Amino acid sequence: MNESLKTYELLRVQLISAFAGAREKAEREGQPVLAAVSVEVEPQTPIAMISALPGYDAQRFFWQCQTDVMVGFGATQTLTAESGQARERFFWCEQQWQALRARLWVEGPCLPRWCGGFAFDPEATTSELWRHFPAASLTLPRLMYLSQHGQAYLMVTHWVAADTRSDALACQLLNEWSQLLEKAEVISSAVEASTDYALQDCLDASLWKDQVADTIKAIQQGTMHKAVLARTVVMTLPHSVLVAEVLQQLSEHYPEAYLFAFERDGHCFLGASPERLVRLQQGQLETMALAGTMARGKTPSEDAGLSDQLMNSRKDRYEHQLVVNSLREALSPLCRSLTIPETPCVYRLAQVQHLLTPITGELSSEVGALSLVSVLHPTPAVGGLPRDIALRHIRAHEQMDRGWYAGPVGWLDSDGNAEFAVALRSGLLRDDKAYLFAGCGIVADSQPDAEYQETCLKLKTMVAALSA
């Protein structure tokens, strides 16, 4: 027996044993149970895997954050909030998740993870563009490759009933896994950028700048302290966009970012976000204030000069402090301890640099991960202050459907550990078109032309990845 057959047989035996245990639980309880089984496998190339089966069960998922990588295929179960529950979407998903926890059968070294995202504003007018991405959607993938700290695992999930044949189910899922590995294609990063594409503003630049000017006037009149305005551009390419190729480019150029992709029925929302919304691990939380932007320099000395300019910018430091103060106010009642440095640092990315303040804390009570997300989202970095007034202003003036752009995306496991990023530096791909999004924080000292140029800087992340 060769090595691959030995591996297959070992995995098959492990899965049969796990599904047999789940079947016994189903017999005892008189209802199907949700089996989540993880087994160790050989390390794979994650981005190659995402190229394997386009349209697998109409859903694919990719997530990469430093040493944590996930690639998911299909959907065993999905937690959603329909239009009637949109305003309570975090609570609604939390309730569904809690109900399913009692029916879980978990076996193996890894906990099952729900993966997905939330719309930026469930009360905003929605468009056809985002019809595959509801106000809330968290999916338990049917097959998921998970890599953590050099160890690789396959997690399979399936509903198991009292009459389920464990051997047949194990073979079926392992055959699907084998087909994925056979069809995975390593994507080359050795390509040059092309100029064979077209970019078009969805709202004329002069009109968008007028919106900024109106927002500045409202802030100066005391209506609010800050509002974030975003814009959309459409990038048309001479061919259909391949998700794996875009992810490869983003991974090469933004290794420190949250890399994500959610594909639904041929529509893919992906990006490389620099901003963590929250990481929760056994009651310890990590988040950040990220606001204030400057271009990168072409030389080390120019770059250092721009960094100093950013640190000494009254406008950017004020905008940043608004975010810090808001996070302190939101988190203090929930935490036993909260650590917030007094001075931000400069966070350098390939195209831009930001002011960043890392924030850590210890939760004081049993606060659910999604409840914590609901408290933090939207931060002033993507919404504004006061939050409700800024959101009403955005709905009335922005003239675009953000969908999942600037919303929380990430994962939640069966023990309540979670990690969510803010979906920035992102785009929605459909065939040969990419809808790209970028925004900036408007305060009293903002200038419309400068804010427009800031969005152009931020759009370069996705334009560069797509043009390659």
Q: Please tell me whether the peptide bond between 378 and the residue prior to it is cis, using omega within 30 degrees of 0.
A: yes
Please choose, from the candidates 147, 158, 146, 145, the residue with its C-alpha nearest in 3D space to the C-alpha of residue 105.
158
Is the distance from CB of 292 to CB of 314 less than 8 angstroms? Answer: no
Catalytic residue among 263, 275, 398, 454: 275
Distance CA 175, CA 160 (A): 18
Distance of CA 252 to the CA centre of its chain: 18
Name residue, tokens 């994650």. 46
Rounded CA gap, 375 and 391, in Å? 15
**Sequential DSSP letters for 209-277:** HHHHHHHHHHHHTTS-SEEEEEEEEEEE-SSPPPHHHHHHHHHHH-TTSEEEEEEETTEEEEEEE--EE
For residue 226, indicate whether it is catalytic: yes
CA–CA separation, 388 and 197 (whole Å): 39
Largest CA distance in the chain: 78
Annotated active-site residue 217? The verdict is: no
Whole-angstrom distance, CA of residue 1 vs CA of residue 102: 41
**Annotated active-site positions, please?**
226, 275
